[in-house]
Amino acid sequence: MTQLWDFSGGIHPAENKHLSTTRPIAKAGLPDILVLPLQQHIGEPAEACVSVGDRVLKGQKIADVTGGMGVPVHAPTSGTIESVSLQPVPHPSGMSDWCITLRPDGQDEWGTLSPVANYRDLDREQVLDLIRDSGIAGMGGAGFPTNIKLRPPKDRKVSTLILNGAECEPYITADDMSMREKADEIIAGLRIMAWILRPERCVIAVEDNKPEAIAALRKAAEGTQTEVAVIPTKYPSGGEKQLIQLLTGMEVPSGGIPADIGVMCQNVGTAIAVSAAIFRGEPLISRITTVTGQAITNPGNFEVLIGTPIDYLLVRAGLDDNALHRLVLGGPMMGYTLETPSVPVVKTTNCVIAATASELPDPAPEQPCIRCGACAEACPMELLPQQLFWYSSSGEFDKAEHLNLFDCIECGICSYVCPSSIPLVQYYRAAKGEIRVQQAEHLKADRARERFEARQARLEREQQEKELRRKERAKAAAEAQAKKQAEAAEAEAQGQPADDRAAKAAQVQEALARKKAKNKQSAATDSNTPEKPASEPAPDIETLEKQLNQSTAKLNTMQSMLEDAKAENADNVEKLERAVTKNHDRVKRAEEALAEARHSLEAADTQTTDS
């Protein structure tokens, strides 16, 4: 008997699992069209490596991730690539994303497969590459690339490998039926992962509401070291953090990963995919999906090709269109509603609920929080949901963060138990989004400030260097002067007559002459100016235009410099302002001159035309 711990909180919602466990897993069949999103995993989207019109074989790689984290996408059947285009994909926002559309040819012809009979003969890295090349990403919900998860940080030793078969969400039975029917494959997949990770302990955790699955797993696990742990049925026992706490008594540190405490969780569906990838060489091209809800006539589990449109699947299971009120992808606690059923099944699609209005009724209007604390009682993360709600809804995000908003796993329990029908999780999601945006902006502002400070420092440094150079020059000049004087003194000492007075008088004379010449010149220009148009009857408009352009350009530069300086509160604002005014005047003068010139030219023209 495996020792179990408990996690705090949790609820026992109506299970509704019996709906879909009455029949064995059926093949969903081949739809007319398969839509394969290029991003079905966490990380970089894959890039199509086939062209429109290509015929592809079943299991052929049609898209891959070349740079960054991600896994390839494979053709689920043989057929023709019809398009690579934006199509609606399963996402809470109802967005569209790049998808490869494949028209099956009905032959279902496999490409060449290369199964590995004895994976232990290979390198662990080679096996990890096989898992990656098979396009396997976590099938429990998030879709994290399995090969990357199986390669924990070097300083983290995984001592406990947990296979998550808890399937705690109501309605969903995909894992339950897989465990009943494919227990051997699950154990085989688990053994491959265990061989890669070399843990001390392997546990498969199943909630006690699945006795058939437990029996099947126990039988399959006979003779292996694998424990089958039966855990009490309580939502969210299948949440990674809660399951780890249940089985090990340890908590994943906030902000950390399970490998930090030597634990790793994998989903049973992932184990099946790993087993198929290694022993049969088959990439991930299908999965088990529950189709259930009261608007479905024949609810059950289906082996569905990835890319199968959900409306096809609904028809296959017998949808009562008139009864359908809400279409949920995933479970009723954490799933999201679809706007349209024409989105494809992807690698993480474990359940589709076609619910009637009475089954999942619209929520009652939100009422004020009465602080009853039912949410805090039930929260599996031991948060204070009502305080988080106050702070999230009033925009006091720092306080919400202080109360560990980011530890919320969005399991939905607080909203479920709230007597005032407050959509608490929705508030937390909004707050988290808002905080992320703020953080991004903060980061941007920080960078801008750093840039500015660096620039300031550089300017200051340059100023100092300039000052230094000036001082050096002054020093050099002083030295030169001193040297000169010394030479003069030496010369005097040597008896050469240094007629100081005469020299000075000569200098004064010289200066006076210079001044006179200058005055004359300026007088000439002054007297010239008004006469200019007269002396130049056809004024050179081109030159004037050029002058104007130049001055305008200069003014613009000056102005932008001034703005910059103002924005940065630099010391040279005043100086620049003066310069701008000066340039402004200059431009004005140039404009006037140009206008005048044009005017006189026109006058001249009219005169000529008149005559």
Partner 1 sequence: MALAQQSSPHARNARSTSQVMRWVILAALPGLLAQTLFFGWGNLINVVWCTAVALAAEATILKLRKRPVTIFLKDNTAAVTGLLLGLSLPQFAPWWVSAVAVIAAIVMAKQLYGGLGSNPFNPAMVGYALVLISFPVAMTTNWAQPGLLWETGPGFGETLGMIASGQQTAVDGFTMATPLDEYKHKIATHTAAEVLQHPTFGEGVAKGWEWVNAAFLAGGLVLIGLRIITWHIPVSMLAGLAIMSLAFGSNADQYAPLSMHLLAGGTMLGAFFIATDPVSAASSHQGKLIYGAAIGILIYLIRTWGAYPDAVAFSVLLMNFAVPFIDHYTPPRTYGHHKPRRGIPGKGQG
Distance CA 347, CA 135 (A): 9
Considering only residues 204 to 243 of the shown chain, the ones binding partner 1 according to CB under 8 A are: 241
User: Is 213 in a helix, a strand, or coil?
Assistant: helix
The one among 211, 232, 395, 419 contacting partner 1 by CB under 8 A: 419
Q: What Rg do the C-alpha atoms of the chain give, in angstroms?
A: 40
Is residue 254 close enough to count as binding partner 1 by CB under 8 A?
yes
CA distance 269 to 506: 106
- Least CB distance from residue 227 to partner 1, whole Å? 24
Which of 46, 50, 188, 353 binds partner 1 (CB under 8 A)? It is 353
Q: Is residue 367 near partner 1 by the rule CB under 8 A? A: yes
Please, which of residues 315-334 interact with partner 1 by CB under 8 A? 321-322, 324-328, 330, 332-334
Tell me how far the alpha carbon of residue 134 is from its chain's centroid.
Answer: 25
Residues 458-517 that bind partner 1 (CB under 8 A): none
- Asked if residue 253 binds partner 1 (CB under 8 A), the reply is yes
CA 191 – CA 225 distance, rounded (Å): 10
Q: Is 362 in the site for partner 1 (CB under 8 A)?
A: yes
Beta carbon nearer to partner 1, 320 or 568: 320
Site residue total, partner 1 (CB under 8 A) = 79
Q: Would the annotation count 99 as a binding residue?
A: no
Q: Is 49 annotated as a binding residue?
A: no
If binding is defined by CB under 8 A, does position 13 make contact with partner 1? Answer: yes
Does the CA dihedral 600-604-610-611 come out positive or negative?
A: positive
**CA 116 to CA 274: how far, in whole Å?**
12
Give the whole-angstrom CA distance, residue 547 versus residue 590.
Answer: 7
Closest contact distance (angstroms) between CB of 575 and partner 1 is 42
Which residues from 94-113 bind partner 1, rule CB under 8 A?
A: none
> Residue 91, Cβ neighbours under 10 Å: how many?
17
Dihedral sign (CA 502, 505, 509, 510):
positive
Task: Name the residue nearer to partner 1 (CB basis): 127 or 327.
Answer: 327
Spell out, one character per residue from 420 to 439, where the chain touches partner 1: x when CB under 8 A holds, - when not.
Answer: xx-x-xx--x----------
Q: 3-state SS string over 42-98?
A: CCCCCEECCCCCCEECECCEEEECCCCCCCCEECCCCEEEEEEEEEECCCCCCCEEE
Three-state SS sequence of 298-317: CCEEEEEECCCEHHHHHHHH
Percent helix, strand and coil across the chain, each to the nearest 5: 45, 15, 40
Report if residue 410 touches partner 1, rule: CB under 8 A. Answer: yes
Confirm or reject binding of residue 412 to partner 1 (CB under 8 A): yes
Binder among 202, 369, 579, 580 for partner 1 (CB under 8 A): 369
For residue 267, give the nearest of 172, 146, 412 by alpha carbon: 146
Q: Which of 245, 290, 348, 392 binds partner 1 (CB under 8 A)?
A: 245
Determine, following the binding rule CB under 8 A, whether residue 14 of this chain makes contact with partner 1: yes
335 forms part of the interface with partner 1 (CB under 8 A): yes
Phi, psi of 270 (to 5 degrees): -65, -40
Task: Provide the b/e sequence for 121-141 (b: ≥16 CB within 10 Å).
Answer: eeeeeebbebbbbbbbbbbbb
Residue in 380, 431, 590, 597 binding partner 1, rule: CB under 8 A: 380
CA angle 453, 458, 461 (to 5 degrees): 125
Closer by beta carbon to partner 1, 71 or else 381: 381
Q: Measured between alpha carbons, how far is 429 from 6 in angstroms, rounded to an integer?
A: 27
Q: Which of 120, 198, 219, 402 binds partner 1 (CB under 8 A)?
A: 402
Q: What is the DSSP letter of 577?
A: H
User: Is residue 40 part of the contact set for partner 1 (CB under 8 A)?
Assistant: no
Tell whether residue 394 is a contact of partner 1 (CB under 8 A): no
Q: Which stretch binds partner 1 (CB under 8 A): 58-66, 278-286, 355-363, 542-550?
A: 355-363
365: contact with partner 1 by CB under 8 A: yes
Q: Binder to partner 1 among 363, 443, 445, 500 (CB under 8 A)?
A: 363
We find the least distance from the C-beta atom of residue 238 to partner 1, in angstroms, to be 15
Residue 258 CB, nearest approach to partner 1 (Å) = 11
Q: Which of 338, 431, 555, 576 binds partner 1 (CB under 8 A)?
A: 338
* Least spacing, CB of residue 61 vs partner 1, in Å: 34
Q: How near is the Cβ of 358 to partner 1 at its closest, in Å?
A: 12
Reading phi first (left if > 0) and then psi (alpha if -120 to 50, else beta), residue 59 is in: left
Site string for partner 1, 112-151 (x = CB under 8 A): ----------------------------------------
The smaller minimum CB distance to partner 1, of residues 288 and 408, is found at 408
Distance of CA 33 to the CA centre of its chain: 31
414 labeled part of a ligand binding site: yes
* 8 Å CB contact between 498 and 488: yes
Q: Site for partner 1 (CB under 8 A): which residue of 80, 159, 393, 404?
A: 404
Cβ-in-10-Å burial (0-12, 13-18, 19+) of 79 comes to buried
By CB under 8 A, residue 597 contacts partner 1: no
Identity of the residue, 106 or 253, whose beta carbon is nearer to partner 1 in the bound complex: 253
Angle at 264 between CA 258 and CA 266, to 5 degrees: 125
Residue in 365, 360, 376, 377 with CA at minimum distance from that of residue 420:
365
Placement of tokens 């498969």 in the chain = 204
Nearer to partner 1, 29 or 373 (CB): 373
Binding residue positions = 369, 372, 375, 379, 408, 411, 414, 418
Annotated binding site for [4Fe-4S] cluster: 369, 372, 375, 379, 408, 411, 414, 418
